[in-house]
Structure 1
Amino acid sequence: MKFRVPDWLIYGLIVLLIYLNATRAVQNEPNQPPPPEKLGELLPRESPRDPAVLVDIDDPAPGIGTAFVIDEAGTWMTARHVVDSCDDVALRIGERGGVKIDVEVSPDSDAAILKADWKRRPLPMDLETHRQVGEYGYFFGFPQGKPGEAVGALLGRHKMIVRGRYDTQEAVLAWTEVGRSAGLNGSLGGMSGAPALDKDGEVIGIVAAESPRRGRIYTVAPKNLRKYASTQNIAAEPINLDKYGSDADDYRRDRRIVQVVCMVR
């Protein structure tokens, strides 16, 4: 069901976006391609010795994240922490429009399913292929509330421990950032919930957290998304390393990747 976003929400989002982008340069130059991949060994299995990443989840507050479509029935996916405990959640379409959605959060991973009366061409998934250390992942979304993207090289497995509003512990993949949108500085906040794509253009995770100081991006492990995978045969579109920014723009322009808005009264 389509609806008109209330004026109070729009004004609040404008203030939020101004704050988030106060120190950000205008993105008006092409992305610089990262160096070629340097593939290593196959990603090791989960281990109790995997490094721990601690994440504190604050009380519910209005915010913006990223979501992407996963089937032809109007099912979308984002990160749990983006939509958990919100009074209302909507997919943003245009400056003043949105699509209200129903939310189902995962009890044991940073994933959430969104049901909308709005259908787009879904993103394919590959949650079975064994990953290699050093391979590239592509993250397309809305960092700092604006269109942007990043590229990371797979570092290994970590264990994400979430505390605060809810408590979970799960395996995640850790990536070392090797490229991002020209002019995008600082945090990737707003990218949460974005798809992690492999070079074939298939979803292999969800952006769950970052460590700006260390240049790390953490994504939900593929095995934790298998229960949500569509059985539809969806053609993949390989990502071009030399113009991944243009590829990201295509996804956003086609509204296969959109902003998701959390409203708290």
Structure 2
Amino acid sequence: MARSGVLRNLLAGAFVAGVLVFAQSGVSPAEARGAPESFADLAESLTPAVVNISSAQRRNNGGRELSPLQRKFNTPAVSLGSGFIIDSSGIVVTNNHVIDNADDITVTLHDGREFAATVRGRDRETDLAVLQLDGAGTRFPSVSFGDSDSARVGDWVVAIGNPFGLGGTVTVGIVSARNRDINSGQYDDFIQTDAAINRGNSGGPLFDLQGKVVGVNTAIYSQTGGSVGVGFAVPADLAETVITQLLEFGETRRGWLGVSIDDVTPELASTLNLRLPKGAVVTVVRPNSPASDAGLMPNDVIMEFNRREIDSVRDLTRAVADTPIGATVPMTVLRDNRRVTVRVRVDRRESRMLAANPGGVLPASAAQGSGLTLQEPTEELRQSFGLPVNVQGVVVTAVDPESTAAIVLQPGDVILEIGWERVTRPNAAVDKLSKLRNLNSGPVQIYVQRGDLLFYESLRP
């Protein structure tokens, strides 16, 4: 990202004591409600349901037996974070990055009791995870989700968590902004807050003054790794939807439309006689997709989906993802300067991402790695994905929805370059990604063709 700071999955923030409102000529000064005399009662009632999470990853020796000296110094890698209990049976919500790749997870309550925990489900795309405490017969203190959509910029919020492993810590601030896109994934819709949040607060709750969880603290914007007053939380309305699916299915089940889309630019809005640049313009319609079955066409501008107004690409992505799989819903598009309503039957995104090679048998020319299945552009694939006849590169035929690749790639994409080098063979592409991953080189630049679009993306191998 071309920014002066660094986004980190560690969290930070700073408390702003007040706001000075200057009256302009003809504008009445705004009146701010005073802060509560104390947050003590609220903190006392909520803290018991907030937990500290310690996850350990045991180091191995490539399957070989460790020597006595190796065993002595083979201490596990430990990650510290926060979480909160949403059910008295011991269901805990946290960030996925807090427990990712963990072999052992220990949850410590505010009163010092420790419980082992197992993973009920996780979602890398929203960085959320659900744990189950191993405490048969124990009734745990719990909190519940609130309505994050009603949270307003300037509202007081309270963060409770485990910064730097210190244990239960309470900080207070306001909602600084809403609907923030921090380029962490296609479902970005963060609440920004200045409540002080630091390393170890990841996965902890952000409360409103009614004691309801309005966000899950997830990331910070910081040049130093410490608190600078810009923290981000997954809004409760999004988190609750994901958590419900993880508890019911152990995985997410998001809707899929089968289109590539772009935001409406001011220039396009003027051409379409739109008062404001609103909607999502269709650039590519996938063959054999819900969109193609519904008669959607390139250059259609989607204005409403399932009776939800669409202002931007993010609005459509969220609306489709939230739609029940198999549901047939209305979609209003602007086509040739007139509004047309079509009905579309939503498919499941995760199934489509793994649609290729359902039997697990790969063609001889295919290769798998970094969450991708890659093949050469055969005539069958060109017809299946609607690819140009002269396309060159390697075709993405399946993407593991749990991989980081799912954030930037989808079946039908053609990878033309990896790290500024042309790629034409699947095995060579997989080998290059594997070498970069082993070198811990970080994200690599890839050049992608998606329909008629050509663009660069950053892929973490």
1:215 to 226, 229, 233: 229
**The residue matched to 2:189 in structure 1 has which SS?**
strand
- Return the alpha-carbon distance in structure 2 between the equivalents of residues 173 and 126 of structure 1: 14
Change (3 A) 1:94 1:133: closer
Change (3 A) 1:226 1:188: same
Check if 1:149 corresponds to 2:165. no
* 8 Å CA contact retained: 2:216, 2:233: yes
Structure 2: runs of 5 or more not aligned? 1-14, 20-30, 34-56, 58-76, 245-461
- Return the alpha-carbon distance in structure 2 between the equivalents of residues 124 and 225 of structure 1: 12
- Return the alpha-carbon distance in structure 2 between the equivalents of residues 67 and 196 of structure 1: 11
* 8 Å CA contact retained: 2:157, 2:206: yes
**The residue matched to 2:190 in structure 1 has which SS?**
strand
Partner residue in 2 for 1:161: 183
CA deviation after TM superposition for structure 1 residue 152, in Å: 2.4
Partner residue in 1 for 2:358: none
* Larger Rg over CA atoms: 2
**Correspondence 1:113-192 to 2 at 5 A:** 113-118=130-135, 119-127=139-147, 129-146=149-166, 147-156=168-177, 157-162=179-184, 169-177=187-195, 188-192=198-202
- Return the alpha-carbon distance in structure 2 between the equivalents of residues 93 and 176 of structure 1: 26
**The residue matched to 2:153 in structure 1 has which SS?**
coil
CA deviation after TM superposition for structure 1 residue 159, in Å: 1.5
- Return the alpha-carbon distance in structure 2 between the equivalents of residues 33 and 155 of structure 1: 10
* 8 Å CA contact retained: 1:127, 1:225: no
Alpha-carbon deviations, 1:182-236, whole Å to 9, x = none? xxxxx7101111101001111111110122454111101222212236xxxxxxx
**The residue matched to 2:97 in structure 1 has which SS?**
helix
- Return the alpha-carbon distance in structure 2 between the equivalents of residues 208 and 134 of structure 1: 20
- Return the alpha-carbon distance in structure 2 between the equivalents of residues 94 and 62 of structure 1: 20
Check if 1:224 corresponds to 2:245. no
Partner residue in 2 for 1:78: 94
**Correspondence 1:18-57 to 2 at 5 A:** 34-35=17-18, 38=32
- Return the alpha-carbon distance in structure 2 between the equivalents of residues 219 and 87 of structure 1: 26
Question: Residue type matched to 2:122 in 1?
Answer: V
**The residue matched to 1:161 in structure 2 has which SS?**
coil
Partner residue in 2 for 1:55: none
Aligned residues: 167
* 8 Å CA contact retained: 1:207, 1:219: yes
* 8 Å CA contact retained: 1:143, 1:149: no
**The residue matched to 1:210 in structure 2 has which SS?**
strand
Change (3 A) 1:96 1:111: same
* 8 Å CA contact retained: 1:155, 1:176: yes
**The residue matched to 1:189 in structure 2 has which SS?**
coil
CA deviation after TM superposition for structure 1 residue 142, in Å: 1.2
Change (3 A) 1:169 1:66: same
